[in-house]
Chains A and B, each alone.
Chain A
Amino acid sequence: MSLFFLASKLSLANQGSDRSRIAKGKNAAVRFTPITHSCMHAIEIQGFSKNYAVGFWKKQLQPALRSLNLTVEAGETFGFLGPNGAGKTTTLKLLLGITFPTAGSAKILGKDFRDPEVKSRIGFLPEQPYFYDYLSAPELLDYYAQLSGVPAAGRAQRIQELLQRVGLGDVRNKHLRKFSKGMLQRVGIAQAIVHDPEVIFLDEPMSGLDPLGRHEVRELIQGLKDAGRTIFFSTHILSDAEALCDRVAVIHKGELRGVGVVNDLRSSSADKVEVIWQGAKALPALAGHVPESHVTGDTVRATISAEDLDLVLEKLRQERARLTSVTPLRGTLEEYFLAKTSGTGEERA
């Protein structure tokens, strides 16, 4: 017990400097332009398909994405979920013009996704980002700001504010090759928003980060969400999606398997009820309707199907058991995700 206490104290002491740095960063104000959403849909994807030519002669076609239709509303945080190799990054690369679709089209902020004007209004953080490691963080951000058309006036100040915001205000001229993975991820987010974009694409933003790093990035995303930005992020870490997203889509083997509001998906994914009562003698009378139960003394805690609730309550009344509580159980996003990714694809939403 004392060893555990000591370890906890040491751990907290080590994290102390990081936490104070983050707190300091959070106090720094980064100006985001107030957004008036001129169009309902921030992103509209219609029939995106992508086949990659494989094999020695490149004659064999391997589908990476099959006729994807998806709409993301302006101002919402949208999670794009799927296991590795599901087609998440391919979708992002198509939207950003890094690779070209075999079929289909898309609109971002109401305009064709290939329109250069659109690209000045979007930001992108690639998965496990690598940046020019011979540059310092301010140099890197200045380079990207120039490419995004940020005017020279006020650029240096904005970069400094951004670095403060992501907790890198004190790195100054240190080259990126000396940065840790968490620091690189923070620089990555800073470069994605250096030009104050309206739509931000994040590819696995929490990938490879420790719990503290994940917390920081989650806070940054929450901050962007609060500032009215549309955030489209791909992830396979479901707890992050659950905590941040308004809506999610599940993609598997290049096919969209489901899309909807997080709360709805969670409640619809498991329609079970937990019933607790006093009177263990009543349990045999419920045989066949109580698949899972725990008995402690005279108290029974049972998980039943919502469909059987009326019948179970009636039986309990007949057996004169004393009802303590009835609680609907909500499914987790993980259950929904597993249900959508373990099938053959015939149960597509």
Chain B
Amino acid sequence: MTSRLAAITLNTFREAIRDRVLYNLILFVLLLVASAPLFGAISIDIERLVLVNLSLTSISLFGVIIAIFIGTGLVSKEIEKKTLYTILSRPVRRWEFILGKYFGLLLTLVVNTGLMTLGFYAALLITTHKLTPADARLLVAVYFIILQFLIVTAITLLFSSFSTPIFSAVFSFALFVIGTFAEDLRSFAAMTPGPAGWLATVAGYAVPNFASLNVISQVAHDQPVSGSLIAFNTLYALLYSAAVTAGAVLIFERRNLK
């Protein structure tokens, strides 16, 4: 079981790497590093703040776009090109295939994020001329971005397990945008009486809460992130992504492939 899961994971990762997706990201990192000296010129005294906000937001957005871009085709492409037939005719369980795809995409995103984070720290060093212990705190924001990817990948895979790539991409991105405003949705629910309020409450808690996973502004202003928030967010992301992936498995287990 482990070797089959590892094989599918590594093959998914290899596909992403050879699909030249990473090349765009390397270009992004190079651009960021090359433009770092400009931040000092256009934003005196707040160059670090601008750089941190811009870079971490870019890392997050790029990752989400890649997760949706690759994730929506993960299952449908295998069905369309019939490569899945040669997988399912082997002793591979359908859940192993879904989990392998999930971990493969996640591995791709983690490696991408790692590379971009290296580029970001290089740009930070060029801009501020030295790295301080406070800069290590920025890694918490990067960790939360990876937790976001855990959820986005699962959501994309869920839609990919039953829908076309275009619809999967639209649904996934829509859910990401709604999830970014999950806290606002909950506030709105608290203020709204009656059925509309109940509906908003359900929606507020059902959609992934990406707002609480975004601490970019906080770390950019050198504000600490509590250990309890890190623990809560970790647990939340793990449980949410596990539930959504389980949904993807349930759908895919029953799916007739034409």
Does B92 have its Cβ within 8 Å of any Cβ on chain A?
Answer: yes
CB neighbours of A191 from chain B (8 A): 86
- B65-104 CB mask vs A (1 if < 8 Å, else 0) is 0000000000000000111111111111100000000000
- Shortest C-beta distance, B164 to chain A (Å), equals 16
Quick one: given A132-B11, A132-B15, A134-B18, are A147 and B90 in contact (CB under 8 Å)? Answer: yes
Q: Is the CB of A129 within 8 A of B86?
A: yes
Quick one: given A52-B258, A93-B257, are A134 and B19 in contact (CB under 8 Å)? Answer: yes
Total chain A interface residues with beta-carbon distance under 8 A: 30
Q: Quick one: which of B3, B8, B19, B85 contacts A149, CB cutoff 8 A?
A: B3
Q: Is the CB of B82 within 8 A of A129?
A: yes
Q: Quick one: which of B6, B90, B256 contacts A144, CB cutoff 8 A?
A: B90
Cα–Cα distance between A201 and B258 once the two chains are bound (Å) = 18
Does B221 have its Cβ within 8 Å of any Cβ on chain A?
Answer: no
Does A268 have its Cβ within 8 Å of any Cβ on chain B?
Answer: no
Q: Is the CB of A126 within 8 A of B85?
A: yes
- Shortest C-beta distance, A253 to chain B (Å), equals 18
- A41-59 CB mask vs B (1 if < 8 Å, else 0) is 0000000000010000000
CB neighbours of B258 from chain A (8 A): 52, 99
Stretch at the interface among A114-122, A255-263, A269-277: A114-122
Quick one: given A93-B85, A147-B7, are A98 and B257 in contact (CB under 8 Å)? Answer: yes
Q: Is the CB of A98 within 8 A of B11?
A: no
CB neighbours of B6 from chain A (8 A): 146
The residue in chain B whose Cβ has the minimal distance to the Cβ of A148 is B90
Does A343 have its Cβ within 8 Å of any Cβ on chain B?
Answer: no
The residue in chain B whose Cβ has the minimal distance to the Cβ of A147 is B90
- Shortest C-beta distance, A42 to chain B (Å), equals 15
Q: Quick one: which of A93, A98, A131, A146 contacts B3, CB cutoff 8 A?
A: A146
Interfacial residues of chain A within 141-172, with CB under 8 A of chain B in the complex: 143-144, 146-149
Q: Is the CB of B4 within 8 A of A146?
A: yes
Cα–Cα distance between A93 and B7 once the two chains are bound (Å) = 23
Quick one: given A93-B85, A120-B90, are A134 and B257 in contact (CB under 8 Å)? Answer: no
CB neighbours of A129 from chain B (8 A): 82, 86
Q: Quick one: which of B4, B85, B257 contacts A147, CB cutoff 8 A?
A: B4
- Shortest C-beta distance, B258 to chain A (Å), equals 7
- Shortest C-beta distance, B75 to chain A (Å), equals 14
- Shortest C-beta distance, B114 to chain A (Å), equals 22
Does A223 have its Cβ within 8 Å of any Cβ on chain B?
Answer: no
Q: Is the CB of A96 within 8 A of B85?
A: yes
Does A124 have its Cβ within 8 Å of any Cβ on chain B?
Answer: yes
A-B CB contact pairs (8 Å), 27 listed: A93-B85, A93-B257, A98-B84, A99-B257, A99-B258, A100-B256, A116-B93, A119-B89, A123-B89, A124-B85, A130-B81, A130-B83, A132-B11, A134-B14, A134-B18, A134-B19, A143-B7, A144-B86, A146-B3, A146-B4, A146-B6, A146-B7, A147-B7, A147-B87, A147-B90, A147-B92, A148-B91
